[in-house]
């Protein structure tokens, strides 16, 4: 079968490109990876390599001519194959090109979280007729019961903690400072509502039809939607994107059904703060809630089954976090297993096995934070044959499932359960549906934990570098040596750690434990994405006084030439 060579999309805003030079002539054999042609845009020049093997049969856009993204610029055939008749539409805009090839393409997105709503908007930008089906609230977990509400609560908790510990920075409170939990809950709702209305507005201006209801597949090209009023409608489409997200996992522990045992969603909307809480699970969600409740004066105990907390984080960093948690008064039990929960009066008794000894911890609430599982129930995936892999929807790098016209994105695929990953996967799925060629890469995904201080990391941990057999070097710069961190007082155990590949000095991991880590990690993400080397970090001027200077110092530390540390 003849293969269309198309004008690639080399950036989110690229609409067209100029072919400055073909490297192959008609009749030349082409192998995968051979340079085909050079494209110039207003921003860059790139050599495009072949993704397929064959013989170059036609050049439709000659040297010096322009073509819109996704337009066919040449034809590749197999040896001896007939050359098809193809016309080129050089004057079309990208939207027109997409429309002519994908005219009136109908796409239904199931789920309106950060995966689904971003995919819907991108599809609409590319000319699709888009319907978004959402059974709950637009914004999904992230906006309603995840990223945003947790950060609203953490913001107030952080200021409260700064103020009550403010004497040594000259902040004296004359009177009592207290947290108005009811007002804080209201503020959380206000922020969430404002953001939700913003997303609904964006869907409206992009002409995305939103239907409230629960979707389930009838066949590969249609779904049934059970609406809120109990009525049902059938929607048909050329393509579907499943973006149904995840929900808290419930472990099989006796007593999890007792009143007072809560999940993260319930923890965000408590009527009042408890006196004490046991958090089962020392992962990202458990650590953020531990910070929140501890900062607000609640006695917190973390019980984690693994020998360390925050399993995805570089071990050196997670040990530092654990030490700080303990200094802050949080009890942390690792290698500890909850065996049962019982009720005693107003309290819950959590039985924990530590080193073969049973311990009982008493608390008013028990927060189950042991992970999340994909939401696939009720979608009728078995009927249409969508492949699941340990409860998660299997997808390729273009976010396509094993069924050609069905894509899946976000938590339901279990790649990295993060909002920004869901959104980027949504863009990749939308672009592939609309005829562009987009792939998801996972080597430069930043992840942040909003503890105090914050944790942020991108790329490989030291343990991963070791287990992958990479010859690596490490530089650690203590934030106690950074002026701006000293001003914020968050100098205890905080650091920037950089891991490089020894052969090329390429940055392969950046880990920050310190103030504003979640903002600073972007430099590390860009460094890994652009395959930057140590030299490129050394020679980048960093503003003073900033915490970001520590990234340059950590890079210098790899070669033991940091200016503001002893380099021992
Ligand atoms: C407490 C907490 C804090 C978090 N903090 C962060 C953070 O700081 N940063 C970060 O990146 N991530 C964070 N996350 C994770 C983040 O929320 C998720 O990764 C993200 O929401 C996943 O997006 P999604 O679009 O895949 O799914 P979701 O946001 O879960 O959205 C899925 C949507 O699909 C709908 N749906 C499900 N089934 C159907 C159906 N059959 N028909 C119609 N609709 C359906 C659901 O109602 C839901 O609205 C946090 C999560 C939690 C729980």
How many CB atoms sit inside 10 A of residue 538's CB?
Answer: 15
Q: Which atom of ligand 1 is nearest to the CA of 116?
A: 25
d(CA 264, CA 258): 16
| Amino acid 51: pLDDT | 85
d(CA 517, CA 404): 40
Ligand 1 pocket test: which of 108, 114, 147 has the largest number of ligand atoms within 8 Å of its C-beta? 147
Q: How many C-alpha atoms does 402 have within 13 Å on its Cβ side? A: 11
| Cα R_g (the chain), whole angstroms | 27
Contact 352, 342 (CB under 8 A): no
Find the 375 Cα to ligand 1 centroid distance in Å.
10
More confident: 17 or 102: 17
| Amino acid 43: pLDDT | 76
d(CA 408, CA 395): 7
Q: For strand 239-242 and strand 406-408, is the pairing parallel, antiparallel, or unpaired?
A: parallel
Contact 395, 439 (CB under 8 A): no
d(CA 147, CA 154): 11
224, with CB counted inside 10 A (0-12, 13-18, 19+), is: middle
| Amino acid 283: pLDDT | 97
Tokens of 334: 């690792």
315, with CB counted inside 10 A (0-12, 13-18, 19+), is: middle
Tokens of 512: 């920050």
Find the 273 Cα to ligand 1 centroid distance in Å.
25
Question: In this predicted structure, which of 96-105, 133-142, 174-183, 407-416 has the lowest mean pLDDT?
Answer: 96-105
CA quadruple 337, 339, 342, 344: dihedral sign: negative
**103: confidence class by pLDDT, cuts 50, 70, 90:** low
Mean pLDDT of the chain: 94
Mean pLDDT of 530-535: 97
d(CA 135, CA 139): 11
Ligand 1 pocket test: which of 134, 136, 146 has the largest number of ligand atoms within 8 Å of its C-beta? 146
350-379 pLDDT tens trace: 999 998 999 999 999 999 999 999 999 999
CATH classification code of 3-85: 2.40.50.100
Out of 3.30.390.30, 1.10.443.10, 3.40.50.1220, 1.10.10.1100, select the CATH number for domain 447-558.
Answer: 3.30.390.30
Q: Which atom of ligand 1 is nearest to the CA of 267?
A: 1
Q: pTM to 2 decimals?
A: 0.88
Shortest-distance Cα residue to atom 49 of ligand 1: 140
Q: Which atom of ligand 1 is nearest to the CA of 246?
A: 30
Shortest-distance Cα residue to atom 2 of ligand 1: 146
Shortest-distance Cα residue to atom 3 of ligand 1: 146
Question: What are the structural domain ranges in the chain?
Answer: 3-85, 106-140+190-248+373-433, 261-370, 447-558
Find the 459 Cα to ligand 1 centroid distance in Å.
23
CA 345, 350, 355 angle in degrees (round to 5)? 150
Residue indicated by tokens 């503003």? 543
Q: How far apart are the first and last CA of the chain?
A: 63
d(CA 427, CA 563): 42
| Amino acid 70: pLDDT | 82
- Name the CATH architecture for the domain at 261-370: 3-Layer(bba) Sandwich (3.50)
How many CB atoms sit inside 10 A of residue 285's CB?
Answer: 24
What percentage of the chain has pLDDT greater than the value 90?
89
d(CA 265, CA 141): 9
Q: Which atom of ligand 1 is nearest to the CA of 133?
A: 43
Residue indicated by tokens 């016309």? 87
Active site amino acids: 544
What are the counts of helices (DSSP H) followed by strands (DSSP E) for the chain? 15, 32
Shortest-distance Cα residue to atom 50 of ligand 1: 146
Ligand 1 pocket test: which of 121, 137, 140 has the largest number of ligand atoms within 8 Å of its C-beta? 140
Query: CATH topology of 106-140+190-248+373-433 equal to that of 261-370?
Result: yes
What strands, in cross-sheet order, belong to the sheet with 276-280? 261-262, 365-368, 276-280, 299-303, 331-333
How many CB atoms sit inside 10 A of residue 128's CB?
Answer: 27
**42: confidence class by pLDDT, cuts 50, 70, 90:** confident
More confident: 12 or 83: 83
Tokens of 519: 């903002």
- Which residues have C-beta atoms less than 6 Å from ligand 1? 110-116, 133-136, 140-142, 146-147, 150, 214-215, 243-246, 264, 285, 375, 378-379, 410-412, 417-420, 422
The answer on pLDDT for 94 being more than 70 is no
The answer on pLDDT for 131 being more than 80 is yes
SS (H, E, C) 224-236: EEEECCCCEEEEE
Q: Which atom of ligand 1 is nearest to the CA of 215?
A: 42
State yes or no: cis peptide before 453, omega within 30 of 0.
Answer: yes
Find the 411 Cα to ligand 1 centroid distance in Å.
7
> Which residue, among 92, 99, 91, 93, has the nearest Cα to 126 in the 3D structure?
99
CATH classification code of 106-140+190-248+373-433: 3.50.50.60
Question: In this predicted structure, which of 72-76, 110-114, 278-282 has the lowest mean pLDDT?
Answer: 72-76
Shortest-distance Cα residue to atom 37 of ligand 1: 244
């Amino acid at each position: 079968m003849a293969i269309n060579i198309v004008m690639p999309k080399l950036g989110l805003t690229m609409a067209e490109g100029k072919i400055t030079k073909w490297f192959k002539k008609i009749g030349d054999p082409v192998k995968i990876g051979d340079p085909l042609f050079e494209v110039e845009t207003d921003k860059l020049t790139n050599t495009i390599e072949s993704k397929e093997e064959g013989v170059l049969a036609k050049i439709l856009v000659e040297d010096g001519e322009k073509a819109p993204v996704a337009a066919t610029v040449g034809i590749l055939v197999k040896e001896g194959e007939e050359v098809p008749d193809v016309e080129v539409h050089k004057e079309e805009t990208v939207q027109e090109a997409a429309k002519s090839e994908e005219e009136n393409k109908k796409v239904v997105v199931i789920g309106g979280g950060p995966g689904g709503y971003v995919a819907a908007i991108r599809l609409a930008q590319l000319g699709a007729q888009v319907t978004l089906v959402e059974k709950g609230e637009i914004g999904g977990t992230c906006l309603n019961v995840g990223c945003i509400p947790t950060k609203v609560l953490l913001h107030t908790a952080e200021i409260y903690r700064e103020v009550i510990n403010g004497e040594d920075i000259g902040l004296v409170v004359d009177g009592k400072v207290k947290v108005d939990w009811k007002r804080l809950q209201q503020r959380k709702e206000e922020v969430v509502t404002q953001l939700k209305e913003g997303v609904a507005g964006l869907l409206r201006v992009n002409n995305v039809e939103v239907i409230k209801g629960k979707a389930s597949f009838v066949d590969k090209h249609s779904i049934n939607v059970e609406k809120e009023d109990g009525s049902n409608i059938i929607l048909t489409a050329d393509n579907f994107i499943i973006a149904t997200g995840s929900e808290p996992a419930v472990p099989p522990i006796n007593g999890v059904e007792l009143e007072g045992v809560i999940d993260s969603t319930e923890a965000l909307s408590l009527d009042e703060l408890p006196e004490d809480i046991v958090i089962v699970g020392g992962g990202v969600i458990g650590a953020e809630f531990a910070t929140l409740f501890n900062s607000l004066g609640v006695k917190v105990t973390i019980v984690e089954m693994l020998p360390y907390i925050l399993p995805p984080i570089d071990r050196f960093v997670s040990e530092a976090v654990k030490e700080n948690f303990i200094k802050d008064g949080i009890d942390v039990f690792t290698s500890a297993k909850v065996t049962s929960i019982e009720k005693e009066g107003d309290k819950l008794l959590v039985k924990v096995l530590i080193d073969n000894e049973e311990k009982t911890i008493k608390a008013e609430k028990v927060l189950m934070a042991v992970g999340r599982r994909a939401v696939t129930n009720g979608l009728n995936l078995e009927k249409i044959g969508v492949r699941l892999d340990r409860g998660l929807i299997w997808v390729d790098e273009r976010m396509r499932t094993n069924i050609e016209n069905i894509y899946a994105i976000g938590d339901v695929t279990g790649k990295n359960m993060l909002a920004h990953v869901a959104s980027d996967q949504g863009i990749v799925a939308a672009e592939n549906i609309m005829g562009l060629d987009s792939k998801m890469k996972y080597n430069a995904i930043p992840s942040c934990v909003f503890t105090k201080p914050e944790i942020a990391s991108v790329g490989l941990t030291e343990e991963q570098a070791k287990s992958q057999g990479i010859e690596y070097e490490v530089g650690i710069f203590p934030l106690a040596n950074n002026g701006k961190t000293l001003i914020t007082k968050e100098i205890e155990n905080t650091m920037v750690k950089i891991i490089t590949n020894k052969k090329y000095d390429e940055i392969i991991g950046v880990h920050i434990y310190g103030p504003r880590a979640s903002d600073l990690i972007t430099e590390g993400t860009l460094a890994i994405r652009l395959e930057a080397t140590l030299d490129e970090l050394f020679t980048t001027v960093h503003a003073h006084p900033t915490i970001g200077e520590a990234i340059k110092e950590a890079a210098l530390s790899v070669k033991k030439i940091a200016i503001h540390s002893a380099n021992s």
